[in-house]
Amino acid sequence: TTSNTSKAKTKGQGAATSVSIQLDKDDFKQAVIRNLHRTLGTDENKANKHAWWKATSAAMQELVFERLRTTQKTHYLNDTRAVHYFSAEFLMGRLLSNNMHNFELFDTAKRALKELGVDLVDMLEEEPDMALGNGGLGRLAACFIDSLATMEFPAIGYGIHYEHGLFRQEIRNGAQIERPDSWRDYGNPWEICRPESIQQISLYGYVETKYDEDGKIHKEWHPGSIVTGVPWDIPIVGYGGKTVNVLRLWQSQSSEYFNWDVFNAGGYVDAQRENVESETISKVLYPNDETEAGKELRLIQQYFFSACSLKDIIRRYKRVHGDDWSRFAEQVVIQLNDTHPAIAIPELMRILVDRAELSWNVAWEICTQTFAYTNHTLLPEALEKWPVRMIGKILPRHLEIIYEINHRFMAEVDAKWPGNNEIKAKLSIIEESNEKMVRMGNLSVVGSFAVNGVAEIHSALVKSQLFPEFNELYPGKLTNVTNGITPRRWLKACNPSLSALITKKIGGDWILNLDKLDDLSAFASNKTFQNQFMKVKQQNKLALAEEIKKLTGIIVDPKAIFDIQIKRLHEYKRQHLNLLHILALYRRLLQDPDYDMHPRVFIFGAKAAPGYALAKTIIYAINVVADKINNDSRVNEKLKVVFLPNYRVSLAEKMIPAADVSQQISTAGKEASGTGNMKLALNGAITIGTLDGANIEIAEEVGEDNIFIFGLTVDEVNETLSAGYNPYDYYYSNEELKATIDWLDSDYFTPGNPHALSSLKHSLLEGGDPYLVLADFEDYCKANLALDLAYRDKSKWAKMAILNTAKMGKFTSDRSIKDYVERIWKLDSCQVK
Catalytic residues: 376, 567-568, 573, 675, 679
CA distances from 87 to 102, 248, 608 (A): 23, 11, 22
Which of 525, 625, 564, 498 lies closest to 174, judged by CA? 625
Which of 613, 510, 512 lies closest to 571, judged by CA? 613
What are residue 172's phi and psi, to 5 degrees? -120, 120
Type and span of the H or E element at 269 = helix 268-280
Question: Could you tell me which residues are beta bridge partners of residue 175?
Answer: 172
Q: Output the smallest distance, CB 394 to ligand T68, in A.
A: 19
Q: Output the smallest distance, CB 143 to ligand T68, in A.
A: 9
By CB under 6 A, residue 574 contacts ligand T68: no
Q: Output the smallest distance, CB 757 to ligand T68, in A.
A: 26
Under a CB-based contact definition with an 8 Å cutoff, are residues 251 and 232 in contact?
yes
Q: Output the smallest distance, CB 455 to ligand T68, in A.
A: 7
Q: Output the smallest distance, CB 462 to ligand T68, in A.
A: 12
Residue of the chain from 675, 740, 750, 813 that contacts ligand T68 (CB under 6 A): 675
CA 72 to chain centre: 27
Q: Report the distance separating Cα 675 and Cα 562, nearest Å.
A: 19
Return the number of the residue (448 or 623) whose C-beta is nearest ligand T68: 448
Return the number of the residue (56 or 302) whose C-beta is nearest ligand T68: 302
CB neighbour list of residue 560: distance below 8 Å, 6 or more residues apart: 598, 599, 600, 601, 640
Return the number of the residue (340 or 398) whose C-beta is nearest ligand T68: 340
Q: Report the distance separating Cα 32 and Cα 526, nearest Å.
A: 44
Q: Report the distance separating Cα 156 and Cα 385, nearest Å.
A: 27
Query: How many alpha carbons fall within 13 Å on the CB side of residue 421?
Result: 1
Contact letters (x/-) for ligand T68, 718-737, by CB under 6 A? --------------------
Which of 445, 442, 347 lies closest to 395, judged by CA? 347
Return the number of the residue (51 or 132) whose C-beta is nearest ligand T68: 132
Q: Report the distance separating Cα 57 and Cα 94, nearest Å.
A: 11
Contact letters (x/-) for ligand T68, 122-141, by CB under 6 A? ------------xxxxx-x-
Q: Are strands 244-254 and 332-337 parallel, antiparallel or unpaired?
A: unpaired
Return the number of the residue (99 or 695) whose C-beta is nearest ligand T68: 695
Q: Output the smallest distance, CB 382 to ligand T68, in A.
A: 5
By CB under 6 A, residue 290 contacts ligand T68: yes
Under a CB-based contact definition with an 8 Å cutoff, are residues 384 and 390 in contact?
no
Q: Tally the residues of the chain.
A: 833
Q: Output the smallest distance, CB 649 to ligand T68, in A.
A: 13
Q: Output the smallest distance, CB 139 to ligand T68, in A.
A: 7
CB neighbour list of residue 485: distance below 8 Å, 6 or more residues apart: 143, 675, 678, 679, 682, 811, 812, 813
By CB under 6 A, residue 674 contacts ligand T68: yes
Q: 54-92 burial, b for 16+ CB within 10 Å, e for fewer? A: bbbbbbbbebbeebbebbeebbeeeeebbbbbbbbbbbb
Q: Output the smallest distance, CB 819 to ligand T68, in A.
A: 14
Under a CB-based contact definition with an 8 Å cutoff, are residues 798 and 530 in contact?
yes
By CB under 6 A, residue 673 contacts ligand T68: yes
DSSP designation for 465: I
Return the number of the residue (136 or 241) whose C-beta is nearest ligand T68: 136
Return the number of the residue (59 or 140) whose C-beta is nearest ligand T68: 140
3-class SS of residue 227: strand
120-127 long-range CB contacts below 8 Å, 24 or more apart?
Answer: 120/56, 122/49, 123/49, 123/52, 123/53, 123/56, 124/53, 124/94, 124/96, 124/97, 126/49, 126/50, 126/52, 126/53, 127/53, 127/57, 127/94, 127/95, 127/96, 127/650
Tally of CB atoms within 10 A around 648: 22
DSSP string, 527-540: HHHHHHHHHHHHHH
By CB under 6 A, residue 289 contacts ligand T68: yes
Binding part of the chain for ligand T68, among 74-82, 105-113, 218-226, 673-681 by CB under 6 A, reads 673-681
CB neighbour list of residue 382: distance below 8 Å, 6 or more residues apart: 290, 291, 292
By CB under 6 A, residue 454 contacts ligand T68: yes
Return the number of the residue (226 or 378) whose C-beta is nearest ligand T68: 378
C-alpha Rg value of the chain to the nearest Å: 27
Return the number of the residue (382 or 506) whose C-beta is nearest ligand T68: 382
Contact letters (x/-) for ligand T68, 622-661, by CB under 6 A? ----------------------------------------
Q: Output the smallest distance, CB 672 to ligand T68, in A.
A: 4
Under a CB-based contact definition with an 8 Å cutoff, are residues 203 and 229 in contact?
no
Q: Output the smallest distance, CB 277 to ligand T68, in A.
A: 23
By CB under 6 A, residue 697 contacts ligand T68: no
Which of 805, 517, 514, 553 lies closest to 657, judged by CA? 805
What part of residues 375-414 is at the interface with ligand T68 (CB under 6 A)? 376-377, 382
Contact letters (x/-) for ligand T68, 338-377, by CB under 6 A? --------------------------------------xx
Give the number of residues in contact with ligand T68, rule: CB under 6 A. 19
Residue of the chain from 483, 646, 664, 750 that contacts ligand T68 (CB under 6 A): 483
Would you tell me the crossing angle of helices 136-150 and 813-820 to the nearest 10 degrees? 80
Nearest position to ligand T68, beta carbon = 136
Q: Output the smallest distance, CB 677 to ligand T68, in A.
A: 8
By CB under 6 A, residue 671 contacts ligand T68: yes
Under a CB-based contact definition with an 8 Å cutoff, are residues 713 and 693 in contact?
no
Return the number of the residue (35 or 666) whose C-beta is nearest ligand T68: 666
Return the number of the residue (285 or 800) whose C-beta is nearest ligand T68: 285
CA distances from 556 to 541, 543, 590, 639 (A): 10, 11, 20, 9
Return the number of the residue (47 or 440) whose C-beta is nearest ligand T68: 440
By CB under 6 A, residue 763 contacts ligand T68: no
Return the number of the residue (674 or 689) whose C-beta is nearest ligand T68: 674
Q: Report the distance separating Cα 582 and Cα 576, nearest Å.
A: 10
Tell me which residues touch ligand T68 (CB under 6 A). Answer: 134-138, 140, 289-290, 376-377, 382, 454, 483, 671-675, 693
